[in-house]
Structure 1
């Protein structure tokens, strides 16, 4: 039976047939998911790079031409061959997960696509009467070395993909809400589909045992909507499939709103509706058509680009600001007794607890780690240096270490302290859907901060506006927006009337 991570199956659930294709792998909540979209793109780019480098290297070795790198015939031939080869690989299905997994099955198709590309190159040179421009030794040398290198590359890729598959890193963990006939048909479709990249963790339904079986198509029913949200919080859940008829419009809307706080895709099987649209309307899980209800705000190449942006810009910022940070640390130590740095637990991505670094701005014996009481103007707990660094947000600079460590981003919704309140109430009690801001990794600065909603949140309106800005950022994220926010942040810090 399926390993379902943190969830526990009731002891009275009967044993049923196993579902090995969907369940025969080890789930690890700590193991990060690797996107097949990114892997396919990376292998395509590697194929093009290897083919071009080989073509140039062999030409430099065998062709008596001092300016070979800028030679129009050779450069055009190398570039076109690389593009044609990759197009051939694509047509032959060599960028699917199944082909990555199987080295033996790949070999004939790799040879076919590479040979076809060379045949087209030779035919083009013949018909354009440009054959005399190329070295025959170069043609032969590039072809042979290309076979060796491309097969070697595929052997390496196959080994990596097998390893990642065994670790469960290439499968999206999915939960199904709805335990009726739609669920059973969906599970059957996924089981027979070799290209499906999901593994089902369990089924959830709020209806009682008299209406829904406790085991559906071999998978346990683990509870209702409340248990689904809790399960998604406590384990890595990448996708939620709402297996209800689309005619249950009110219930689908309620579910979508409740699930909008989670950093997971929410989909509905296309079979749940009698309506049929064009193929472009649907996304696909393997070959199973799905209607997208909610998408991950940052996924695939977006995640890669944001990760690189954080690491590169964060490292440069840390290096450039190191003298200032050392000076601030010295001033804090000189001003009052205690450590220069202060650690505080806050809510991060997917509502997880993270620990962030800040410069200490309060007297050591008056620090409020959970922020149960907001800092106000003239607060006696704040030191002299603390007033300045809080007003200018210099106290946040040590969070660059968090960016390097990976639990913060440069730009994103600001992480709030555990007991932060507005007008005496916890933030999540004040703002409906508050936890939707945790669908992405929190940041040092964000859209709310550059729009004037930084500092004290003593009224419901202030936290409401801050959350609205956070949701806007999540729904409109791009690297250009991140860059714009970073550039605007220093100017926003000049307006410090709400920062104490």
Structure 2
């Protein structure tokens, strides 16, 4: 049994039914809104065309409408029109839908005017189609919000209460409750396996509330900041937690200390970029990867790949893949010894692939499986040291970087912060860049970092 298996031993293997149902409901409701918007646009413009030109609708019209639907979906995602808030707030849902529809129409008219085909447009049909579509979109969004409020009230989001020596407020009994002592949960920042255990539990929830003794609040706050979840601590006082907001749980004051840095549309955009780039690159590089694998096999005995435990998003541990560059008997599975320029553990082929960053290419498989992203904070080995001190003991903000998926490359790497961590400042520089990336994420920034990565594939600190 592996360390990870031991870490989660004793946990329920299945999500509570009510919790799983609510999580599934959110996904299906968001998909319903997307489909309803598309259907409203199709029906609305079909009404306009049928009124002005009764009969069948030409294939060119359907092609144009398909393009409009794709553009509208993209704008709606960017405008947060499909966020979970739009499921419960009618005002926010209608506002986001109208802004998205207006932006789509503006873009449509710009294209029409640039192509100089305004004279061929059936103007009455177009005007009637716009009015009909807007009325249908607003109507279906109001109906969906009303349905969600009546069906789920305030219970659409999944909540977990972890009790670690604190009192259990009466209002919490409607949520899933876990006794930290009974489940052997601790807010231990020096135990990656405990953080993995907690991350495994929290992945089933949208919100977690901690009820603990005053002396444990700071540690729980630091744990939750990197957990990629809205985390709150029951507290009448704010203290030094660095709160984001103050909420109420049935009249009990809670302090919000963390939120996932990316909302659902942003995560969808980032994942789409990963898939769109990773799949063709893997296919293109497949012959080259096979040649590298053969060279490694001929150079020294042992497996082609090196697998190592790394800390991923939400403090959950995964196994990173690399081409093996060291002899098997001297490989460092914990990562306590950084590779040096004269490292005698590195094989002949290993030195070449490390210098050119070819050894990192198998991580594209981690990206494909959703364990990593193309761009993000680099995942570190659990035993990595800055000088003679563990990374997370240099600065407790280290755990905050795990609120995003780890990346093959990142802001720290394109700034030259890579290689051995011989001094405390080496990890401090990387952490600063990671937190800057975390706080200012955008899709275009990811694209820019990928473009700059080509300039640092061969780097003086790569050995």
Give unpaired runs (5+ residues) of structure 2: 1-7, 63-120, 239-244
Shift of 1:403: 0.8
CA distance in 1, matches of 2:233, 2:32: 31
Which of these residues, 232, 236, 240, is aligned with residue 198 of structure 2? 232
TM-score, length basis structure 1: 0.63
- The equivalences for 1:176-215 within 5 A come to 179=166, 184=169, 186-187=171-172, 191=174, 199-202=175-178
Larger of the two Rg values belongs to structure: 1
Which of these residues, 28, 50, 54, is aligned with residue 39 of structure 2? 50
TM-score, length basis structure 2: 0.67
Q: Which residue of 2 aligns with 1:327?
A: 291
Shift of 1:309: 2.0
Instruction: Map Cα deviations across residues 305-358 of structure 1 (whole Å, 9 max, x no partner).
Output: 222222222212222333432332233234334433222222222333211221
1:493 aligns with 2:457: yes
Q: In 2 relative to 1, CA 201–472 (structure 1 residues): closer, same or farther, beyond 3 Å?
A: farther
Moved more, 221-230 or 438-447: 221-230
Instruction: Map Cα deviations across residues 343-381 of structure 1 (whole Å, 9 max, x no partner).
Output: 222222233321122112123333333323221112122
**C-alpha contact 2:354 2:462 (8 A) present in aligned 1:** yes
Q: Which residue of 2 aligns with 1:407?
A: 371
CA distance in 1, matches of 2:236, 2:135: 41
Q: Which residue of 2 aligns with 1:75?
A: 126
Q: In 2 relative to 1, CA 287–317 (structure 1 residues): closer, same or farther, beyond 3 Å?
A: farther
Shift of 1:303: 2.1
Q: In 2 relative to 1, CA 230–491 (structure 1 residues): closer, same or farther, beyond 3 Å?
A: closer
Instruction: Map Cα deviations across residues 93-129 of structure 1 (whole Å, 9 max, x no partner).
Output: 5465356789xxxxxxxxxxxxxxxxxxxxxxxxxxx
Q: In 2 relative to 1, CA 483–186 (structure 1 residues): closer, same or farther, beyond 3 Å?
A: farther
1:97 aligns with 2:148: yes
Shift of 1:25: 3.5
Shift of 1:433: 3.4
Q: In 2 relative to 1, CA 42–94 (structure 1 residues): closer, same or farther, beyond 3 Å?
A: same
Give unpaired runs (5+ residues) of structure 1: 10-22, 103-164, 192-198, 206-219, 275-280
Alignment length (residue pairs): 379
Q: Which residue of 2 aligns with 1:256?
A: 221
Q: Which residue of 2 aligns with 1:86?
A: 137
CA distance in 2, matches of 1:258, 1:318: 35
- The equivalences for 1:147-186 within 5 A come to 171-175=158-162, 179=166, 184=169, 186=171
CA distance in 2, matches of 1:409, 1:186: 39
Q: In 2 relative to 1, CA 285–388 (structure 1 residues): closer, same or farther, beyond 3 Å?
A: farther
Q: Which residue of 1 aligns with 2:55?
A: 63
Moved more, 440-449 or 63-72: 63-72
The CA RMSD measured in Å over matched residues stands at: 4.3
